[in-house]
Amino acid sequence: MKPEEQLAFATIEDLSALLAKRKISPVELTELFLRRIDRQNPALNAFLTVTAEPALAAARRAEKEFLRNPRTRKRNQPLLGIPISLKDNIWTRGIRTTAGSKILRDFVPTADATVVQKLTRAGAILIGKTNLHEFAYGITNNNFHYGAAHNPWALDRITGGSSGGSGAAIAAGLCVASVGTDTGGSIRIPSSLCGIVGLKPTFGRVSVNGTVPLSPSLDHVGPLARSVADAAILLGLIAGRDPLDPTSSTERVQNYRGALGKPMRKFRLGVPREFYWEKLDGEVRSATEAAVREMKKQGAVVREVSLPHLKESIAAATDLSLAEATHVHAAAGYFPARAADYSEEVRQRIEAGEKITAMQYLAALDVRKRLLAEFDAAFQDVDAIVAPTTAVPAPLIGAENVQIDGQQTSVRPALVGLCRPANFTGLPAISVPCGFTREGLPIGLQLVGRAFDEATLLRIAHSYERAHEWNARHPRI
């Protein structure tokens, strides 16, 4: 691997060590990523906005800080000099935040989102805002207004959505890490399809203040990263109670990175009888079943668990998201006043939300209670639920259906179906790479954990990652 590629695909920890030893400067590192964006973004369309001038100015400030006080990074600014991206539905002061929409094409926030404030204090350098499905309301990242994001493993394939630009940017070595949002799998789907790590924390673990909402009872903010350790570092920096977000939790924020190095007793994995393993692409099934067998060989205890309301939860979660998204857009004054400015796909979904009755919404909340109780019962015997992240690898851009076991299946349920239960329940979930198809497309393994126990989830994922190092493979574009 060439020196530039070694840096482009390095982790936060690797780059932080090089910066601290002055083997590379923040300006040199930022310029490296800007060059790569300039070369590759025309093919990938991963970035909607590249913040070259502010990024270089921040890099120069970071360089002065390293010269002035080399210990600052470890003590106060663990991301000092590290170039990251943000999904373009996260507010950035003075930098446009489009949410992938025509309606917000020229919206420039006057304040940063809470997560941006925290990342800035940690020293991160914002290198750009990434492509997403319009208003984060979709799972392909085939954006009607700004164009599709292209998967760096195969340019004719989707990245997955809605945080697909972030997934492509990390996989292609255009930034070190990113922060996205996840309402029905929007962090984990692109992580699975692009071969990176994506973590959806527990509902309330990370503030959503300053993010463009979609479905407030299902919305989460979390990291997309090159490694489990990087995801742990980012979670530790962005988690915590926020007085500006009434849904944020007062639960103690742990040292997630530190937890990865602690000895762990044999962990217990639950394989659900229902839903998760029923309808899968053959190569996805082979890779994910092999991953479970390999974890068992490493000492994991694997048990079957029952979650009978999983199937019922998919329709219930859809009812919640449809109703809440329509309310959000009506309250913001976008719908129906600016209905013509939506893509047909998103407009149809918002119109569908008008048809959800109060009885349907309340019934969905009842299903949520029952499913949470079933997860709680399962977690008496296991530490995490294990399943594929998506039922298929990355479909072709523009495809409406995929083949599973010889049958035509709509792309949407094939991608969102296995991710949505963690949004519906608010439980934490992580996707890690677990293999590749014969065509070289990544496959993701998903772990779902107890509420606010991201530390255990990260430790299990880290244990698997260290044994297999799928993230050492990189696309050639």
Confidence label for 72 from pLDDT (cuts 50, 70 and 90): low
What are the tens digits of pLDDT across the range 161-188? 999 999 999 999 999 999 999 999 999 9
155 band by pLDDT with thresholds 50, 70 and 90: very high
pLDDT in tens, 332-371: 999 999 999 999 999 999 999 999 999 999 999 999 999 9
Amino acid letter, 8? A
pLDDT single digits (tens) 254-271: 999 999 988 777 899 999
Residue 302 is given by DSSP the state E
Residue 74 has pLDDT above 60, yes or no: no
Q: How confident is the model at residue 100 (pLDDT cuts 50, 70, 90)?
A: very high
Strand partners, 247: none
**Is 198 within 8 Å of 192 (Cβ atoms)?**
yes
**171 by DSSP, 3-state: which?**
helix
How far is CA 396 from each of CA 138, 158, 196, 393, 411, rounded to the nearest angstrom? 15, 6, 19, 10, 10
What pLDDT, in 10s, does the model give residues 401-447? 999 988 999 999 999 999 999 999 999 999 999 999 999 999 999 99
Q: Is the pTM of this model over 0.95?
A: yes
Strands 384-388 and 268-272: parallel
Q: What is the set of active-site residues?
A: 87, 162, 186
